[in-house]
Structures are given as C-alpha cells and as structure tokens.
Amino acid sequence: MSAPDIGARERELVLDVLSSGILSGGPYARRFEQMFEQYLPVSHAIAVSSGTAGLHTCVVAAGLQPGDEVVTTPFSFVASANCILFERAVPVFADIDATTLNIDPRELEARITGRTKAIVVVHVFGQPVDMDPVLAIARRRGVFVIEDACEAFGAEYQGRRTGTFGDAAVFGFYPNKQITTGEGGVVVTPHDDVAASVRALRNQGREPGDLWLEHSRLGFNYRLSELHAAIGVAQLERADTLLANRARVAAMYTERLAASHDVDVPAIAPETTRMSWFVYVIRLRHAIDRDGVIRHLQERGIPARPYFPPIHLQRYFRERFGYAPGMCPIAEREAARTIALPFHGGLSEEQVDFVCGQLGQVVREVAGSRR
C-alpha cells in the first residue's frame, strides 16, 4: 500500500546519533523542531512520539474536562476522536462535504452547544478543510481550534500552509506519511502558553526549573527519540522533492482514471492551493460492490483498502454513546464506496498502469455480475 522514501542521508544522520551516544533529549530533536518552525512558519514546534500523542497533548492543553463536548468529523483515522475520549470528553460528529470529504462547516456550527469547548478539524487525505468559515465559527462561539494535519504536511489553503490556522495543530510521521520519522509527530502553536503546556505534558509533566525527578503536573512519556528526529531532519531537507514525487504519482492515477464512468477520482477544492497527497482514494459509483472490487484486486496481487470506515460506527463508539447508522448520512454513504489504491512517491508509470488496468477489468467484471 505504501513505502517510505529512505536514502543515504537518513542513514548518515542515524549513524551520527548512534555514534554520539545521545539517544534521547539531544540536539536532533531540537533541530527538527526548528526546521519545522521555519518550514510552516510557526512560533512553536514541539516534537512528540506520534500524531496521536500530539493530539492528546492538544486536548489537555485546551483545558477539556469530563463531559465537555468537542465537535469533529466522523470521516478520519480513529485517533482524531480517541484523543477526546482520553480526557473523558464527548466527541460530537458533524457530517462531511460530499466533494472534499472534509467536515462541513455548516454541519459543524449546527452541532455546537453551550457544552462545546473545542473543534478538531481533520485535513483528510492531504486536502485542507475550508478554514475561513471554521475560524469564523470558532471566534463567534469562543471555542479552541485543533487542526489534525497528520495527513496534510505541506498542504496549502489559500496560499497558507495547514497547521498555521488553529490554536494548535498536529502533524504525524508514520511511515506512510508524506515525510516520516518512523514513528513520531509534531505539535505546532502560535501560543506561548499552549507550547509550554505541551512541552511539559510530553516530558512527564516537568516544567522549566523542575529537576529530573520533579514533576509539576501530570504528564506523559511522549518524547521523540534522537533516532527518529534524525530521520525527520533528513526528510525535511528534501521535503519539496518528496511532495513532488507523490504529486507526480497522483497525477498519473488521475490521468488514467478520470475518464472512467465507474470511478470518481479525488476532487480538489478551489481553496486548496496545494494538495499534499497522503493516499490516493477513489470512490466507486453507487451500486458497484466495493468490497468485491477490493477482494478481486487483492487476489491479483494489488493491495487495496476501504478508507475510512466512519468513526461513529466503530463498535466501542456505538456501545458507549449509542451512535447508530443514519447519524452522518453523507459520511456513511461516501465511506461505503472508497478504495485506497497503492500509493507512494516511488511508484513507476508501469506500476500505475498495471494497477489502473487491473482496476478497470475488475470493476467491469463486478459491475457486470450485478446486472
């Protein structure tokens, strides 16, 4: 499905860390943070052990208390909602825009109540959320905005990079992401107090002035190791190339699939001035057996996945909150026809041709069998 782009520079810097003997709390983590601050740009970047860890620290920094409500999207990786549950707050799901698959600002505002303390927006698949109306809603309602930009490194909304809009934002660097640290993430914020909170939270609750065994607040072990940070430094050094390679592969897929009557290719919104390709997700026309298509592709040696099943229909969300089908009809409808195709920056034209050719055959066979 995916493959990280790791080269000589990454190996060089990892070996430098191993030679130094400093495996945690050293210069590479800070260097990675400084490079990230310059790239966006943003006032504060705090490296953490994963995107999920970053989301958790943001929820804590937002001051959420048990029973507080957070409006978010049902169409995302589950971590964007799990982080709300970690603090015993309540996720409230707003339906999505059928074109971009991002949270619909109109639905978002309709879900805000007097108990709403925060909004978590997710830039799904590397396409920025329509942030202007989201920020206007947040200002009117006085709620904290968290951007889950874990899938959107390098994406731009109206010429401005994702991660620079909210009160805090999080990027993730799992191996399938646009840049990787193996495991890791970064929290970014323009606010000094939020940055101070996240730095303490990631480091067992230690605040400036605390000794190693002094802990001013409850915290976590969410630090990023020097080995992971070194990989991140090397990846950031060639970030534009990595993004361009993925855009090249996405363009090949779109060129080959755009004329299909059975497949909808990803649509890019006018406000998206740079799409950052995390995955390449197509949607089958309604009435075509999506799961059957996936099964037949896998039988032909082509990995494919449904992306994403709606969060509110995950078993423990249904059992805990009583969420049920019909609550977010657009998300449910669109999720049922998604297929993520093999995607990374190293795919060749021949590989893309093979995937598209096999996909076309399988879709015709599956669609024909239903007639």
Q: Which residues in the chain are classed under CATH 3.90.1150.10?
A: 239-369
Active site includes 177?
Answer: yes
Mean pLDDT within 212-224 = 97
Task: Give the least confident one: 19-33, 308-322, 356-370.
Answer: 356-370
Is pLDDT at 147 greater than 80 in this prediction? yes
Higher pLDDT among residues 368 and 204, named by residue: 204
**Mean pLDDT (whole number) for 69-95:** 98
**Is the pLDDT reported for residue 371 higher than 70?**
no
Indicate the residue type of 129.
Answer: V
CATH topology of domain 8-95+103-237: Aspartate Aminotransferase; domain 2 (3.40.640)
Nearest-10 crossing angle of helices 27-39, 226-237? 30
Q: pLDDT tens digits for 165-188?
A: 999 999 999 999 999 999 999 999
Q: What is the pLDDT of residues 302-350, one digit of tens each?
A: 999 999 999 999 999 999 999 999 999 999 999 999 999 999 999 999 9
367: confidence class by pLDDT, cuts 50, 70, 90: confident
Give the tens place of pLDDT for each residue, 278-300: 999 999 998 899 999 999 999 99
Give the Cα separation of 23 and 207 in Å (integer): 21
Q: For the residues 147-166, what does the mean pLDDT come to?
A: 98
Q: What is the pLDDT of residues 50-68, one digit of tens each?
A: 999 999 999 999 999 999 9
Q: Please name the residue that has the structure tokens 């006085």.
A: 142
Residue 351 CA to residue 357 CA, distance in Å, equals 10
- The structure's pTM equals 0.97
- Cα–chain-centroid distance for residue 288? 28
Whether residue 121 has pLDDT greater than 70: yes
Residue 86 has pLDDT above 70, yes or no: yes
The one catalytic residue in 31, 123, 177, 337 is 177
Q: Please compute the mean of the pLDDT values over residues 80-96 and round it to a whole number.
A: 98
Residues of the chain within CATH 3.40.640.10 domain(s) are: 8-95+103-237
Q: Which CATH superfamily is domain 239-369 in?
A: Aspartate Aminotransferase, domain 1 (3.90.1150.10)
**If you ran DSSP here, which 8-state letter would residue 189 be given?**
E
Strands 272-274 and 263-264: unpaired
